[in-house]
Amino acid sequence: MAEVIDLGAFGEGFRKDPHPVYARLRERGPVHRVRLPGAGADDWSWLVVGYQEARAALADPRLAKDGSRIGVTFLDEELIGKYLLMTDPPQHTRLRALISRAFTMRRVERLRPRIQQITDDLLDMMLPHGSADLVESFAYPLPITVICELLGVPEMDRTEFRKLSTETVAPTSEESAHDAFARLAAYLTELIEDKRCAGPSDDLLSDLIRTTAEDGDRLSPGELRGMAFILLIAGHETTVNLITNTVHALLTHPEQLAALRADMTLLDGAIEEALRYEGPVENATFRFAAEPLEIGGRAIARGETVVIGLAAAGRDAARHPDPDRFDIRRDTRGHLAFGHGIHYCLGAPLARLEAHTALRALLTRAPALALSAPPDDWLPGMLIRGVRDLRVRW
């Protein structure tokens, strides 16, 4: 039996920078038994840190997302309901087809002028101050405004919502996570009912309520709540950290920032490199072996948990030479920051559009942008990779 590596034993340094640990693990092999930070003494998972093994595992149908297939139920499923990230075919195929009818590329592209307007308005408010927390002033309000308008969510207490949202993806305790999921479930249930009663509207959530497949299939109330949850939470949390992590990478690599300022056609490449180098999702959500299989020479028994390291795969030198170097001209094709296979991120085009719009405007209007202090409050847990604040000046 392979040894269990306690990731929590690496302490605060692992939360701030897990990449040296992942690199040492990759030197020993592509797959390891690990105890995640905060897990019980007998609670362990398989962690995939090699690129090829991670890519294959992301598309392996033997690795189930639906824990109920092996008798596992999670807090979000109990309180929110089933959603795309915890379903397998044929249920996943059905849900994805229904949402794809409403969440189209054309719909995303129609948002471009509004995203630009929100970006400009936020910079108009931020730039006169000369310094700011980029997360609070820019990277958070942009995607939360976009996703709320897209879904048709009314203006809300964003400070409170930010706390609840972050607690679901980077929980500080089991009790606070339970409270956050319960409060979000209640909010979404009421929101969906209000939209049912309000009549036709052109927002995405209203479209999902009305969407019907050729065979008459529709989303159930629980499925609607789950869909609203994943769109609302994943639709902004990842983009907040994509924008923040890209800015942080550029500001800590001045030669790359100078190259980008000299040639803004490199911006899309800079975003893709940031996704590889420090993407907003550190590890994919849990998968479960629905049958025995082998990954990277390791025998995985039925029922065992598998965590696929997206951040670790992005730093695998076998795929990306000199992986710890941030290079905006790098060929990043095939990076796994948005996943791979049937669970590839549905919102990737929107995230890229928001990041491109935000970064172009910020770098153009703040030519002297610089870090005021290095960030030290990285988000807890191993799901989301990002910081609570990023102090900058210009």
- pLDDT beyond 70 at 324: yes
- pLDDT beyond 70 at 157: no
- pLDDT beyond 70 at 214: no
Q: What is the dihedral of CA 62, 275, 115, 227, to 10 degrees?
A: 20
Q: Cβ-count burial of 107 within 10 angstroms (0-12 exposed, 13-18 middle, 19+ buried)?
A: middle
- pLDDT beyond 70 at 215: no
pLDDT at 221: 83
pTM for this predicted structure: 0.93
Q: Which domains does the chain have, with CATH numbers?
A: 4-393 (1.10.630.10)
- pLDDT beyond 80 at 77: no
Q: How far apart are CA 174 and CA 153, in angstroms?
A: 27
Q: How far apart are CA 3 and CA 126, in angstroms?
A: 51
Structure-model confidence comparison of residues 145 and 170, the more confident one: 145
Per-residue pLDDT tens digits for 15-27: 999 999 999 999 9
Q: How far apart are CA 348 and CA 351, in angstroms?
A: 5
- pLDDT beyond 90 at 257: yes
132-136, 175-179, 339-343, 359-363, range with the lowest pLDDT: 175-179
CB 247 within 8 A of CB 362: yes
134-138, 183-187, 277-281, 356-360, range with the lowest pLDDT: 183-187
Per-residue pLDDT tens digits for 111-123: 999 999 999 999 9
Instruction: Please list the alpha-helical segments (H only) found in 156-306.
Output: 158-169, 174-198, 204-210, 221-251, 254-262, 267-278
